[in-house]
Copies of this chain bind each other. A is one copy, B any other.
Amino acid sequence: MTSPYWSDFVQGLHPYVPGEQPKVQDLIKLNTNENPYPPSPKVLQVINDEAINALRLYPDPSNSRLKQALAKHFALNEKQICLGNGSDEILAFAFQGLLKHSKPILFPDITYGFYTVYCGLYGIDYIELPLAEDFSINLADYQRDNGGVIFPNPNAPTGVGKSLDSIESLLKTNTNSVVIVDEAYVDFGSESAASLLESYPNLLVIQTLSKSRSLAGSRVGYALGHADLIEALERIKNSFNPYSIDRLAELAATASIEDVDYFNDCCQKIITTREWTVQQLQALGFDILPSMTNFVMAKPNSISAEALFTQLREHKILVRYFQKPRIEEYLRISIGTDKEMQALVTAIKSIL
């Protein structure tokens, strides 16, 4: 469809299709990589009646409290941090403000589905570079002329991570364009490139509170980088919607960042449950990609992934299936609680 009232580009837009948010009750939901544990108990304390009544007031457009907490956490200064309404908003700003150049940008052919959507929205040329046979990103392929590089580490939906050394090797030679490391899943066992920020002024690291911080429902993400890169993001943010992080989201995010112990405990529990799940599925004949995230990509050997997806749904277990070459033989399964993963294994046994 189209309409004479639309701006020209609207007709050609191909919006992102998020994972299903089912309205059915009693479903075990392992399809959108949410954290099975609630946010830090400190979040319950800060969202009190006083904070709710203060909703009559605008948020602090600089979100100083949250920036201070993050600056302390990462030993950066506040000018090296830009906050957004989820890391999706930050990614959008970064595509528009740092990746739109005459040369095409580079990212993996199997990766976060939103990257091509942003390219469509902002008219950015791109080249998708194939993952290696083992589903890892081969950063040597990125050593070519480009308008920018972006990849998740660990990658999604594969779960496979890159070492910090290999990322630094790319940064050493790729100095003419921005390199964005999208670290949505970094807290489940891999190393953040934030430690490289001091040495590489073209590095931008993007993180979210949606996974490891159990705040998917609060919509808070952030970019860390050289103040010049952050300035570009802030200019766009302040030309678009300066107050995009609401008052309660800022309170929740700040409390969460400050509660280091709870964060570490939750991440460790998920890693332990992931390792148990991998062993169980391997024992059932699944091929599992090495995961450094809160999900596993699992390929059944005696049933198609699509059929298993459908039958798990009948058992009221929802996982994610991508109808896409190479990964269509896999299911992406988020790591839930031990009990949820036991239910998954039991259901798979009964299906097989």
List residues 33-69 of chain A with CB under 8 A from any CB of chain B. Answer: 34-39, 43-44, 47, 49, 52-61, 64
Q: Which residues of chain B are within 8 angstroms of A35 by Cβ–Cβ distance?
A: 56
Nearest CB of chain B from residue A339's CB, rounded to whole Å:
16
* A232 close to B6 (CB less than 8 A): yes
The range of chain A's interface size is 35 or more
- Tell yes or no: A143 within 8 A of B by CB: no
Given contacts A5-B177, A18-B242, A177-B5, contact A56 B10 (CB under 8 A): no
* B231 close to A247 (CB less than 8 A): no
Q: Which residues of chain B are within 8 angstroms of A100 by Cβ–Cβ distance?
A: 7-9
Q: Which residues of chain B are within 8 angstroms of A235 by Cβ–Cβ distance?
A: 10, 13, 15
- Tell yes or no: A3 within 8 A of B by CB: yes
Q: Which residues of chain B are within 8 angstroms of A229 by Cβ–Cβ distance?
A: 3, 5
Nearest residue (CB) in B for A177 is B5
Q: Which residues of chain B are within 8 angstroms of A7 by Cβ–Cβ distance?
A: 96-101, 232
* A5 close to B52 (CB less than 8 A): no
List residues 247-268 of chain A with CB under 8 A from any CB of chain B. Answer: 247-249, 252
The residue that A219 contacts in the complex, of B8, B118, B214, B243, with Cβ under 8 A, is B243
Q: Mark A193-211, 1 if CB is under 8 A from B, else 0.
A: 0000000001000000010
Per the bound structure, the CA–CA distance linking A241 and B228 in Å amounts to 24
- Tell yes or no: A189 within 8 A of B by CB: no
- Tell yes or no: A104 within 8 A of B by CB: no
Given contacts A52-B44, A56-B214, A232-B6, contact A241 B98 (CB under 8 A): no
- Tell yes or no: A346 within 8 A of B by CB: no
Each complex incorporates copies of this chain amounting to 2
* B38 close to A43 (CB less than 8 A): no
Nearest CB of chain B from residue A335's CB, rounded to whole Å:
13
Per the bound structure, the CA–CA distance linking A348 and B6 in Å amounts to 50
The residue that A39 contacts in the complex, of B52, B58, B202, with Cβ under 8 A, is B52
Nearest CB of chain B from residue A25's CB, rounded to whole Å:
13
* A88 close to B217 (CB less than 8 A): no
* B13 close to A239 (CB less than 8 A): yes
The residue that A239 contacts in the complex, of B21, B120, B219, B234, with Cβ under 8 A, is B120
- Tell yes or no: A218 within 8 A of B by CB: yes
List residues 1-29 of chain A with CB under 8 A from any CB of chain B. Answer: 1, 3-10, 13-16, 18, 21, 23, 29
Interface residues of A (CB under 8 A from B): 1, 3-10, 13-16, 18, 21, 23, 29, 32, 34-39, 43-44, 47, 49, 52-61, 64, 85-86, 88-89, 92, 96-101, 117-118, 120-121, 176-178, 202, 210, 214-219, 228-229, 231-232, 234-249, 252
| Extra contacts besides A23-B64, A38-B53, A248-B249 (11): CB < 8 Å | A9-B100, A16-B242, A44-B53, A55-B215, A55-B218, A56-B214, A85-B85, A86-B241, A88-B240, A88-B241, A89-B244
What are 24 contact pairs spanning A and B, CB under 8 A?
A: A3-B231, A10-B236, A15-B238, A16-B239, A18-B242, A34-B56, A38-B55, A39-B55, A43-B55, A44-B52, A55-B214, A55-B215, A55-B217, A55-B218, A55-B252, A56-B214, A58-B217, A86-B241, A88-B241, A89-B240, A121-B239, A121-B240, A219-B244, A246-B249
